[in-house]
């Protein structure tokens, strides 16, 4: 998965930082806790900009480049903020052979943003995901926590129209 550094200005709050410090404290004596810390940090901030990585690095003593190496390695970690409506289209094999590639293109076309990108107003982001395990419903897409299955590309506009506010 390609990573881009975000252009969105970081606006983390003091409250979020305190939460993060507590998380790091919790894992202080646990072996191999870098991943859990980063996962919880992403839950707090929604993504992992360099500012957050720096806090983790300062507190744990792990060099920043090592933290960045981990963040950029795993596709679950995001360097960019996700849209208010995060749209994910499953490109697992079962979905792909049933046409999820076309669905992804259709969404890109309607919203005018490329795969992996987000709209300028921060409302939508699109990504292709690996198998989410709902192969029985293929092809599948999710918008935040809502799952839509057994789709054709003609269903796309109807689904998107539910997420306009």
Partner 1 sequence: MIRSHILICGGTGCTSSGSLAIKDALALELKAKGLEDEIKIVMTGCFGLCALGPIIIVYPDGTFYSRVTVSDLSEIVEEHLLKGRIVKRLVYNDTVEEVDDGTHVSLNDTVFYKKQKRVALRNCGYINPESIEEYIGMDGYMALGKVLTEMSPAQVIQVMKDSGLRGRGGGGFPTGMKWDFAVKSVSDKKYVVCNADEGDPGAFMDRSILEGDPHAVIEAMAIAGYAIGADEGYIYVRAEYPIAIKRLTIAIAQAREMGLLGEDIFSSGFNFDIQLRFGAGAFVCGEETALLTSIEGNRGEPRPRPPFPAVKGLFGQPTIINNVETYANIPQIILKGASWFASMGTEKSKGTKVFALGGKITHTGLVEIPMGTTLREIVEEIGGGVPNGKKFKAAQTGGPSGGCIPASNIDTPIDYDNLLAIGSMMGSGGLIVLDEDNCMVDIAKFFLEFTVDESCGKCTPCRIGTRRMLEILEKITNGNGTLEDLDKLEELAHHIRATSLCGLGQTSPNPILSTLRYFRDEYIAHVVEKRCPAGVCKNLVSYEVVPENCKGCTACKRACPVNAISGEVKQVHIIDKVKCIKCGVCVTKCKFNAIIRK
Q: Which of 91, 103, 111, 143 binds partner 1 (CB under 8 A)?
A: 91
- Residue among 91 and 103 whose Cβ is closer to partner 1: 91
- Piece of the chain touching partner 1 by CB under 8 A; list 5-13, 49-57, 71-79, 109-117: 71-79
- The nearest distance, CB 131 to partner 1, in angstroms, is 4
Residue 77, CA distances (Å) to 91, 96, 103, 160 in order:
18, 24, 24, 25
Contact flags string 14-53 toward partner 1, x per CB under 8 A? -----------------xxxxxx-xx--------------
CA distances in angstroms from 147 to 39, 90, 111, 132, 140, listed in the order given: 23, 11, 19, 10, 7
Interface with partner 1 (CB under 8 A), residue from 10, 21, 58, 69:
69
Smallest gap from Cβ 79 to partner 1, in A, equals 13
The residue written with tokens 């995060």 in the block is 86
Out of 129, 143, 151, 156, which residue is the one contacting partner 1 (CB under 8 A)?
129
96, 22 Cβ separation under 8 angstroms: no
Among 24, 50, 79, 137, binds partner 1 (CB under 8 A): 137
Residue number, 11 or 133, with CB nearest to partner 1: 133
Structure tokens at 158: 């109807």
149 scored as a contact of partner 1 (CB under 8 A): yes
Q: Is 61 in the site for partner 1 (CB under 8 A)?
A: no
In sequence order, what E strands does 13-155 have?
85-90, 124-129, 141-143, 146-148
> CB of 158 within 8 A of CB of 150?
no
Closest CA to 127 of 111, 37, 41: 111
What helix, strand, coil percent values describe the chain, rounded to 5? 45, 10, 45
Residues that bind partner 1 (CB under 8 A): 1, 31-36, 38-39, 69-70, 73-77, 91-94, 96-98, 129-138, 140, 147, 149
């Amino acid at each position: 998965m390609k990573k881009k550094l975000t252009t969105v200005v970081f606006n983390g709050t003091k409250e979020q930082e305190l939460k993060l410090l507590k998380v790091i404290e919790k894992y202080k004596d646990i072996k191999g806790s870098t991943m859990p810390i980063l996962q919880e940090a992403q839950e707090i901030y929604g993504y992992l900009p360099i500012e957050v990585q720096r806090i983790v690095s300062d507190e744990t003593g792990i060099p920043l480049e090592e933290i960045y190496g981990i963040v950029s390695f795993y596709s679950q970690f995001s360097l960019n903020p996700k849209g208010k409506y995060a749209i994910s289209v499953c490109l697992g094999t079962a979905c792909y052979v049933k046409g999820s590639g076309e669905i992804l293109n259709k969404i890109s076309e309607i919203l005018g943003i490329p795969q992996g990108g987000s709209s300028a107003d921060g409302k939508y982001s699109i990504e292709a995901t690996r198998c989410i395990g709902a192969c029985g419903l293929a092809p599948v897409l999710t918008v935040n926590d809502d799952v839509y299955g057994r789709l054709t590309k003609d269903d796309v506009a109807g689904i998107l129209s539910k997420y306009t506010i």
